[in-house]
Each structure stands twice: as structure tokens, then as C-alpha cells.
Amino acid sequence: MGKVAELSSASKNIIVRLRNRGTSYSNIANAVGTSKSTVYFTLKNYRTRGSTGSLPRSGRPRVTTGRVDKVIRRMSVSNPRLTACYDLRFPEMSLALRERGAEILTFPSAFTVSTGLAHWEVLLRARAIETQCYVIAAAQTGIHNSNRSSYGHAMIVDPWGRVIAQCREGTDVAVAKVDLEYLRKIRQEMPVHSHRRPDVYSLPCGHLQSFPRDDAEFQFGQVLIKGKMLFMRTSMSMAFVNKKCVLSGRILFLSPLNVLASPIREAKHLQDLTPMELQDLFTLVQRVQKVLGVVYSTQSFTVTVQDGPHAGQTIQHVHVHILPRKEGDLANNDDIYDRLEKHDKGHDIQWREEEEMVQECEHLRSIASSLYSIPS
């Protein structure tokens, strides 16, 4: 066998399982009886198309990227929100849809028999109760092939969490009345949505993670940042020391210090970030300011983004310069922008030594650890 399309579903699944265990391409090819190139393209299809079972043999990709605003549909009698299958396992999504006015949540699904028996009804009722919405869940049912059977049991759940309609085994249709007055009565008598406390707990982001391994690598535009240069990070953003400082130590009367914060995901411009990434990035910037404030005994900072080449951006990855400021550090305060424009350009740039940067990073890590709870 030499082509992905010629492999059986079982062979493709074996390839994925062996690779997940760390088996080499050569050993996988020998085990399945195919070529290394076929193993490679099988895995590539798996990763890009997002299949968790049988891989697509040919044709167009079966998974496409969606946007949150595409789940909204207007009807004359209610405000339904359209989701699907695996979305059911993430309460944050359903709560976000309730925030946007949802009265009905839909979850057309294809649960397996094992996950259906354990989780299907529990998850549907939980989503209905916590959002105080009607939940309508169509469900694929039956035996599809020797490797796949679907649980079925399509059902409708009311905002109180009661199952008000459910399909029997096999093909069936369930019908139930959607009573929006009943829904509003429940929300009025138990106004849990208005009692939520985002100031105490928040769904979004900003939780600090442990320091990365020294040999870890993070893509930053055209260059790689070593883990030992990062002094703070979250699941979405990272803060690290700069290879070329904008303000020298002689001006600030301290060792040179100018740090950067950027999203971990590669994005060229600020407008490329999602709202959550944007919030996470600038939450990290705030925390970095607090760390630098301790180091420099200052509450003054220049915080700036050079977005695009005509704004002075040389690294094609959006990043924030965080510069602690002191009185008199520059003759004219706005000269800082001329420094930003020129500090990493030209042929005679004197880049900092790695040892100096590592020492600086270790110092910043110690300050950050004293101010924030950072997992070990």
C-alpha cells in the first residue's frame, strides 16, 4: 500500500495510536505494511482535519473554523443558539450564549454508546439548569459499521432541568412545547444569571503558569525565544527580556531593562488577536508593570505597540514594549518614540549577551514569584 486513500480505517487508526505513543515513522510503516510517506500524510490529514476516528479518505476538509456570531439565529418565537455535539461538554460556551440572549440551546450530536450511557442526559440537563434555557438535542443513532455505534436518545429538556421529550431506541421523533412564559418565570424567581460574580471568578484568562524549561522554544515572529528568557506566562501570552534595550542603564541609573509581552500564538497585528487573547495579553502587561515597578521603584511606564512596518515593527509578531520611566531619563519625554524606532535597526547593533539576559530573567522571576502565585 502506498497511498492514504488505499488504507483501511483500522490501519489509519493504528497509525494515529502508534504515533501518539511515540513510535517512529519507520516502525509504524513496518507495522501497517505501508511507506513512511503514507504514514506522514495520514497523520497530516488527521491533524489538519481534526478527525478522532476514521480519517477522511478524500475530498474537501470536513472541519472548518467558525465564528461565535455564526451561532445566532433569529426566530419569531424565541432566540435559539446553535451548537453541536462536543460543545455540550463546555459550560462556558453555553453560558456565553445565554449572555447573548439565548432562550433555546441546540446540540445535534453523535455520542458513542459508551459516552452516551455515562454522560448524555447528565450534560444536557446540566446545560439547561445552569443557563435556564430549553435544550433541544437531536442525536444520531444505530450501528454504522463494525467500529462505530451511536447512542441516540434525542431529547428536549426544559429550563428547570426536566426531560420533557425523549426518543425511544432506534429512529424516532420527539415533540415538546416551548413555553417562553415558563422560562421567564423560572429566570425571575431564581435570577442566578444576575447573581454571577465575574469580579470574584472569571471564565476568561490570565492565570499564570509555571516557568518553562530552559530548552523550551517559543516562536516570536522570525526568531525563537528560549524558555530561560521568559519570566511570566499564561496559556495565551508570554513576557520575556529583550535582546536590545531601548533605554540603556546609564540613562536609567540601573542595569538595562526593557521587556516585551506578546501572545504565544503567532499573530502579526493587534487586530489579529481574539478578544480573549487581547484581554489576556494586557492583563499580563499589567502584572509585568507591577514587577518592574518593584525593581525600579517607579509607577511611570511607557507601554507601546509598534503595529506594522511603518510603525517601526521589525519582528512580525505583535508585541508590547513595557519601559519603566524615571524623571529625567530623557531630555525630552517624547524622545522615547525615536529610541523605539531606531533601537534595533542598523548595521552596528550591539546585542546583549545571553548570560546577562538570563541573569536578568532570573531576577525578574524571583520578583514575580514574590508578588504572584506561580505554580512550580
228 and 320 part of one domain: yes
Set of cell numbers at residue 174? 420527539
Return the residue matching grid coordinates 508570554: 238
- CA angle (327 as vertex; 325, 330 as ends), nearest 5: 75
Residue 137 lies in a domain: yes
Residue 197 lies in a domain: no
Residue 295 lies in a domain: yes
State the distance between the two ends of the chain, measured CA to CA, in whole angstroms. Answer: 48
122 and 173 part of one domain: yes
pLDDT of residue 198: 72
Q: For residue 266, give Cα distances in angstroms to 165, 218, 219, 237, 275.
A: 46, 10, 7, 11, 15
The residue among 307, 302, 320 whose CA lies nearest residue 272 is: 307
Please indicate whether residue 119 is annotated as part of the active site.
Answer: no
The set of residues, in sequence order, having a beta carbon less than 8 Å from that of 278 and lying 6+ positions away, is 270
The residue among 280, 298, 299, 301 whose CA lies nearest residue 232 is: 280
43 and 75 part of one domain: no
Q: Nearest 10 degrees: CA dihedral of 212, 218, 223, 226?
A: 10
Is 242 assigned a ligand-binding role in the annotation? yes
174 and 132 part of one domain: yes
Residue 200 lies in a domain: no
Q: Check residue 256 and report its DSSP letter.
A: -
140 and 286 part of one domain: no
252 and 181 part of one domain: no
Question: Containing H/E element for 259?
Answer: strand 259-263
102 and 140 part of one domain: yes
Set of cell numbers at residue 302? 511607557
d(CA 104, CA 132): 9
pLDDT of residue 2: 47
- CA angle (42 as vertex; 40, 47 as ends), nearest 5: 95
Q: Of residues 119, 144, 317, 319, which has the active-site annotation?
A: 319
Residue 203 lies in a domain: no
The stretches of the chain forming alpha helices (DSSP H) are 9-20, 25-32, 36-49, 91-99, 113-115, 121-131, 180-189, 249-252, 275-296, 335-342, 354-371
241 and 355 part of one domain: yes
d(CA 263, CA 1): 43
173 and 270 part of one domain: no
147 and 239 part of one domain: no
Query: How does pLDDT run along the chain (376 residues), one tens digit per residue?
Result: 445 566 776 677 778 777 777 777 788 888 878 887 788 777 766 654 444 444 444 444 455 555 544 444 555 556 677 788 888 999 988 998 888 888 999 999 999 999 999 999 999 999 999 999 999 999 999 888 888 888 999 999 999 999 999 998 778 898 999 999 999 999 999 999 888 877 776 655 578 888 999 989 899 888 888 999 999 999 889 999 987 666 554 334 344 467 899 999 989 999 999 888 999 999 999 999 999 999 888 888 888 888 888 877 778 899 999 988 877 777 676 766 666 666 555 566 566 788 888 988 999 999 999 999 888 7
The residue among 122, 86, 88, 83 whose CA lies nearest residue 100 is: 83
d(CA 78, CA 180): 8
d(CA 260, CA 240): 6
Is 317 assigned a ligand-binding role in the annotation? no
Task: Classify 277 as helix, strand or coil.
Answer: helix
The per-type count for the chain, helices as H runs and strands as E runs, is 11, 14
Is 0.85 topped by the overall pTM?
no
Q: In what order do the strands lie in the sheet with 163-166?
A: 80-82, 104-106, 134-137, 155-157, 163-166
Look up the CATH number of the domain holding residue 240. 3.30.428.10
pLDDT of residue 246: 60
Residue 314 lies in a domain: yes
The residue among 324, 316, 257 whose CA lies nearest residue 290 is: 324
Strand partners, 137: 155
**29: domain range?**
4-49
Residue 235 lies in a domain: yes
d(CA 15, CA 28): 6
248 and 296 part of one domain: yes
What is the DSSP pairing of strand 223-226 with strand 230-233?
A: unpaired
Structurally, how many domains does the chain consist of?
Answer: 3
The residue among 139, 195, 188 whose CA lies nearest residue 159 is: 188
Residue 204 lies in a domain: no
138 and 244 part of one domain: no
Return the residue matching grid coordinates 507495522: 31
Look up the CATH number of the domain holding residue 113. 3.60.110.10
